[in-house]
Each structure stands twice: as C-alpha cells, then as structure tokens.
Homo-oligomer: A and B are copies of this chain.
C-alpha cells in the first residue's frame, strides 16, 4: 500500500476490499461492489481503474439481462502476483509457491536435521526459497515462514518454546533470511499462518473462527470480528496450555491437566477416542468463550484420526450448545492437508500487501 498521502488509507482499504470480493473467484460487477463497500458505483469505477493499472484486476466481458447497457464484468488476475510460503518444523521444511488467490503453483520438501544451528537453518530456508522462486509468472512479493512456538511477527524472531531449551530461541530469522535473500520476509506462528491462509481463499467466511492445529503439540489461531488476534506479546493462541482437567496429567509447563498434556497422554495410551474428546473440549471451550461460528481443524494428528475427531467435536457442540440458543457452529477439516501451513505463510505475505488494514488511525494513542 502506498503511504504518501493521508487518503491513501481510504483508497487502500477500498482496493483491498474489492480484491477480497474478487478473490472468491466469481466475476464481479460495479453495482455489486458498490453495495458491498457502501460507496457509489462511480467510486467503484475509480477503484477498478486503479486496480487494473496495477494489473490485479482485468475485464472479462459483459453480462446483459433485460434492457439497458450490459454490465461489465471483472475478475481477479491470479497470475499477477506470487508469494513463497515455508513451513518449518524440527525435522522438515516444506515450501510452496502460491498465486494471488492462494492457489498452490509448486511444492518443494526437504528433510532437515533436528536441532540444526541457526546459520544452517537459514541456509536451508534460503535454498528452498530459491528453488521455488523460479516457478510461476507474476511479481514475487516475498517469503513467508510459519513455524511452531511463539513468534514475534513484528520483529520476525522466534521467542523459544516454553517447555524446553531451544537452539532457535531469540533468533532473528526474518532479518537473517532477508539479508540472505534480499526479499521481503515475514515470520509467524504456524497456526496463525494457517488460519490466515484458510481465510485468504474464502474472504469473509472465517471472520469469526478458530483454527486448531494438532501437530507435535496443540495450538490454535483466532480470528475475531475479522481480525487475527496476536495479543500483547504476539503469543495468542496457546490453547494447548489451557487447563481442562484440574487434577489431570502433569504438563512440562508446570501445571496439571493442560489440554496438550491430556491430549498427548491419550495418544501415548493408544486411545484416539479419549484424545478426540480432549480436543472436543478445547473446541467447545473456544466456541463458548469466543462465540466463533466456524472451527477449522488441521495438522497431522487430526488427519490421522479425522473421523473420530470430527465426530467427537460435533457431538460435544451438539450437546454443549443445545442448552443455549440455536446457534450453529460449522466444523471444517482443512482441505489443504500437509500444505496448510506453507500455503498459509504464503497467503500471509499476500495479505500483508493486499489485505484489509486493521486500523484506520496509524498507531494506537500511546
């Protein structure tokens, strides 16, 4: 987004809103957009002119129903921009290239040695990014990295996990990778990247949603009233360390009955049913507390037992919400599979460039 004038914020927000509507894939028309953005059709013309000049939107034809001049139709140009997304775990590095709509154009996967020191890690990330950077048309916007554990997205540093010593703690992954690649880099928490990715491809649908990610641990990301929640220290989403069983399993974090401890214990005991029930409790707690209307599930551990997991969650929601009003909560399994986080990281780069700005007035008043 440009930052010259003061009204660019208005223009930028409108541009982003039009792109969001267009991203859904269906052709868009002037009138519909005017209604969606609450501006006059004439303003939409100006906005579309800007977007067309930037190559993000193109005309695709016209549509006539009844008398009068036919409506001109426009579509997003997916191939106009690209972004690289990298999913980093302790043992693997999975990367994708995504176009402007979040569609995956190319994949690349590598094994990495666990507990790799930071310089070697940066080299691996850069190698995968370079491997992917050749594929696909359109301007390459940058590289997004999604990784487990708390991450400060503003500084691009990994804050270190709470339960163990960590070779990556405090590493300024963003700055190091930026120096290496000479390209914008964005580093964020894995589940947050995943949720941004899921909502990028279906704008508006996940305005009030949580994504629960069950990989090595149990994490979550929150989108409330349209905004991703990061929290005061960029640590929001630690659903794995909320207590669900006061007298339960001890957790490395020092407390008893953390959801993650209960979940892992059930898995260790070979009891996927109990694990699913723990997950269902976490989900129901989130729904009750945050009043989201959509829940997205992802992560290897969910994919492995998706049937029992989905059943347990649906049952818990049916029971738990029945007493109250007839609110409907949709439970979705991520359709991206193993690409979930890598694609999300790529979409986060797109969102950073072309997403809706959250605040109108610059920073908060101190």
Contacts and interface: CB of A to CB of B under 8 A. Distances in A.
A37 B38 CA distance: 26
Interface string A227-263: 1011111111111011111111000111101000010
B159 A325 contact: yes
A290 interface: yes
Interface string A119-163: 000000000000000000000000000000010000000011011
Contacts of A6: 10, 39, 43
Nearest to A228: B225
Contacts of A288: 238, 241-242
Interface stretch (A51-59, A303-311, A338-346, A353-361): A353-361
Interface residues of A, number: 83
Interface in A256-275: 257, 262
Contacts of A220: 289
B291 A235 contact: yes
A297 interface: no
Interface string A8-27: 01100110110011000000
A67 interface: no
Contacts of A222: 290
A365 B325 contact: no
A90 interface: no
Contacts of A163: 323
A285 B145 CA distance: 28
A226 B232 CA distance: 10
A207 interface: yes
Nearest to A325: B159
Nearest to A329: B232
A245 B247 contact: yes
A154 to B, nearest CB: 12
A93 to B, nearest CB: 25
A226 B364 contact: yes
A181 interface: no
A292 interface: yes
Please name the 3 residue pairs, one residue from A and one from B, whose CB atoms are nearest each other, closest first: A231-B291, A38-B362, A232-B293
6 contacts: A6-B10, A10-B10, A37-B365, A231-B292, A236-B290, A359-B360
Given A7-B10, A242-B289, 16 more contacts: A10-B360, A13-B361, A21-B366, A36-B365, A162-B325, A204-B364, A220-B289, A225-B231, A226-B364, A232-B293, A233-B291, A236-B290, A243-B285, A247-B247, A356-B361, A357-B360
Interface of A: 6-7, 9-10, 13-14, 16-17, 20-21, 36-39, 43, 150, 159-160, 162-163, 203-204, 207-208, 220, 222, 224-227, 229-239, 241-248, 252-255, 257, 262, 281, 284-286, 288-293, 319-320, 322-325, 327, 356-366
